[in-house]
A and B are shown apart, each in its own frame.
Chain A
Amino acid sequence: MNSGRSSPPRKKSKTVDVSMSELEGLDAKDLDRFSRQNAALGAETTAKLIKMKVVVVGVRGVGIETCKNLMLQGVGALTIIDQNPCAMADVGVNFFISEVHTHVHTHIHTRVHTHRYTPAHSLPRILALTRYSAASLSLPPSLSPSLSYRPTPPPGRSAPRQWCLG
C-alpha cells in the first residue's frame, strides 16, 4: 500500500514536467486552463491542437456547438462559414444568435437595407469564450458591419446584464 500511496505525487510532477516542455509558448495561465484536458488527453495532444486550423461550414446548432467545444479545447485557428441569413429557427438552436440578428440591417441615414445578419455574426461571442487568448478577429469586407454588433435591448426595457460573457 505504501508504494501505491507514494506513486501518485511522483507521477503528477512528471506530467507537469512533460507539459512544460511540450507546451512551449504557453504561459502558466494557459497551462492551468488546460490542466484537466492534459490529464485526459495528454499534453502532447493539446500541443498539437493549439497549432491546428479548423474550418466549420454551417453554423446552426451543431456548428455553434462544435465551434464552442473547439474554442474551449484551445484549437489554434477557427474559420466559420455560413452565408444563409439568420432566421427565427436559427435563434432556437444557435445560442450566439439573438432575435436582433433576424432583422434586416438598415442604414440609419440612407434607410437602405444594407445586409442581413448571418450566423457568422456569432463570431464576437465565440471569441469571448476564451478570455485568456488574445484572439484576433478578422472579417471579410462584406461582413464587417458585424463589428458594430451590439445587443440592443427591446424597447421599454433596460439592457440585460451580460453575465454570460464573463
Chain B
Amino acid sequence: MCTVSAAPALDDATILAHRAVVITDTSMPLQELYRIDALCRSNGISFLYNFCGGVATSIFVDHGNTHTINDADGEKPTTKLIQSITPIDGSTEVLIRYDTPEGTVPTALDEGFFDVSDVTGMGLDDTTTMVEVYHPWKDPAKTVRAKLDPSGRPDYIGGGLLTLKKMPKEISMSSLADKVKSPGNPFMGDMVLTNLIDMGAELQQHVALVSVLTFVGREGRLPRCRDAADTAAVLVIAKEVTADGTVEIPDFELDAAFVEAFASFCGVELQPMAAFTGGVLAQEVVKCTGKFTPIPGWLHFGCKDALPPAPKEAMEEEGATAEAEEPSTAPLDYAPRGSRYDELAGVYGWAFVEKLGSLNYFMVGCGALGCEFLKVNDYCRYNHSHKNLLLLCQSL
C-alpha cells in the first residue's frame, strides 16, 4: 500500500506529517533551508537537500542529533572457528583461539561483540552467548580475550563459532547551518571524498554552492546559463563568503575558474546527473531506517572535465583557422530554441547535441540498468533528422 499525494505548498504541517523531507528545488534560498532544517531537527525528521546544476551535484544529509545505525556496512557478519577456550589465570576472562574458515578473508579480530555458539563443554552446550572481546597487542595472534567468567565452568571440549554481533551505534549529525559554515574535510571523513584527481575540488564546490545560494537569496533567481554578469556576481559573492566567515575552511584558496564554471551552468539540470543524484538520494532515504552509514553531512560531486572547453580554449586548440568563424557562431549555438533539449544545448551547444542525435546505437538488454540507459539515451539525443536509430534487443 502506498499513498501518493501532491501538496500545494511546503508548510510546517506538511513537514511534520512526514518522516523525511527531500528538497531538490534549487531555487530555495539558504535562509529558508536553514528554517526547514531546524524544524526537521527539532521533530526527529530526516532532512535531505540536493543541488544539482550542470555537471555538479551536492547532497546534504541531516538525520538529526540522535540517529541510530543498526548495521554500518551491510556486510555479512564475520565468522571464526573456535580452536580452544582456555581460562586466563587470575582473571575473569578466557582466551579464545580462533581460525578463519576456508574461503573467507583471514582478518584479525580486534574488538567488539561476538556470539559464541555451537561449543561443546564450558557449560555452553546448545546455547548462544554474547561476549565482548578485545585483543591486547601482547597476546599471540589469532586469539582474543573474552569477558566470560571461567570459574565453576567445566573444561572446553571442542567446536564452536564466533560470529560478529552488530551493535546499534548512535551518531549525532550537524545542522545545515553548521555544515555550511564548516563543511568538513574530505580527507578527515566528515565529508565524502569524491575527487582524487583535483585535490580539494569538493571544498571549492562547497564555496561555489554557498555563493550561488546567496545569489539566489539576493536576486530571487538562479544565475543564468553562460551569463557573464551573473557569473561575475557569484564570483564576487564567493570572495565575500570566504572572507567574512560565512564559510570557514582552514587553508582555503579560492579557485576562481572553478567557481565561474560552476556558476555559469548551475541553473541547468542535466538528465544523466539527475538520474545519478536521484539514486543516491533515494538510498539516503533508505538509510533513515538505520541500515548503512549515512553521508556525514555533505557530498559534493562534480565532473568538471565533462564540460566542453571554453570558447577561448577551443580556439587555441583548433588553431588560427577556426578563429575567424568561431566568435560569430558561438552565442547562437547555445541559444534556447523552445525545445526540451534547451538546457543540454545550453551547456554543450546545438552542434554537439545534433551530432549526438545522429548516431546509431545497438543496445542489447533492457532490464533495470538497460532501461536507465534507454532513458538517458532518449533524453540526450536530439532527434532533428529522424535518421538516428536505436536498436533494442531483449529476449522476453
Contact = CB atoms under 8 A, between A and B. Distances in A.
Interface of A: 4, 40-42, 44-45, 48-50, 52-66, 68-71, 73-83, 88-89, 91-93, 95, 99, 120, 123, 126-127, 130, 133-140, 142-143
B180 interface: no
A53 B18 contact: yes
A135 B2 contact: yes
Contacts of A73: 282, 286
Given A58-B24, A65-B279, A135-B1, A81 B270 contact: no
19 contacts: A50-B1, A52-B289, A53-B19, A55-B10, A55-B17, A55-B18, A55-B20, A58-B24, A62-B277, A63-B24, A64-B278, A68-B278, A75-B2, A88-B338, A88-B340, A123-B4, A123-B5, A135-B4, A139-B6
Contacts of B52: 61-62
B103 interface: yes
A74 B5 contact: no
A81 B339 contact: no
Interface stretch (B126-134, B320-328, B341-349, B383-391): B341-349
Nearest to B372: A65
B23 interface: yes
Given A60-B269, A92-B340, 7 more contacts: A42-B71, A59-B24, A61-B52, A61-B269, A75-B2, A88-B342, A99-B340
A49 B379 CA distance: 30
A3 to B, nearest CB: 9
Given A41-B74, A66-B24, A69-B282, A83 B9 contact: yes
B291 to A, nearest CB: 4
Contact of B288 (A52, A59, A80, A136): A52
Contact of A142 (B8, B270, B340): B8
B278 A133 contact: no
What is the interface residue range for chain B against chain A?
Answer: 35 or more
Interface of B: 1-10, 14-15, 17-26, 28, 50, 52, 57, 71, 74, 102-103, 269-271, 273-275, 277-279, 281-283, 285-286, 288-291, 338-344, 375, 379
Nearest to B276: A65
Contacts of A76: 1-3
Contact of A135 (B3, B22, B28): B3
B9 A69 contact: no
B3 to A, nearest CB: 4
Contact of B278 (A42, A55, A65, A99): A65
A49 B2 contact: no
B277 A58 contact: no
**Interface of chain B: mostly helix, strand, loop or mixed:** mixed
Given A62-B281, A92-B271, A92-B379, A120 B24 contact: no
A55 B3 contact: no
Contacts of A49: 286, 289
B26 A58 contact: yes
A66 B22 contact: yes
Nearest to A37: B286
Contacts of B2: 71, 74-78, 130, 133, 135
A45 B289 contact: yes
A93 B26 contact: no
Q: Which of B6, B23, B25, B52 has the most chain A CB within a 10 Å cutoff?
A: B6
Given A61-B274, A135-B4, A48 B289 contact: yes
B278 A81 contact: no
Nearest to A36: B368
B5 A138 contact: yes
Contact of B340 (A69, A74, A75, A89): A89
Q: Which of A61, A70, A135 has the most CB of B within 10 A?
A: A61
| Nearest 3 interchain pairs by C-beta | A65-B278, A61-B274, A58-B25
Given A53-B19, A89-B343, A61 B6 contact: no
Given A52-B288, A57-B10, A127 B271 contact: no
B20 A95 contact: no
Nearest to A63: B24
Nearest to A57: B23
Counting chain B CB atoms within 10 Å of each CB, the highest count among A62, A83, A139 belongs to A62
Contact of B274 (A53, A60, A130): A60
Contact of B15 (A55, A58, A89): A55
Contacts of B6: 79-81, 120, 123, 139-140, 143
Given A41-B286, A54-B18, A65 B275 contact: yes
Contact of B285 (A62, A75, A83, A138): A75
Given A45-B291, A62-B52, A57 B274 contact: no
B226 to A, nearest CB: 15
Contacts of A60: 24, 269, 274
B22 A56 contact: yes
A134 B1 CA distance: 6
Given A77-B2, A133-B1, A88 B7 contact: no
Nearest to A42: B291
Contacts of B341: 92
A104 B45 CA distance: 37
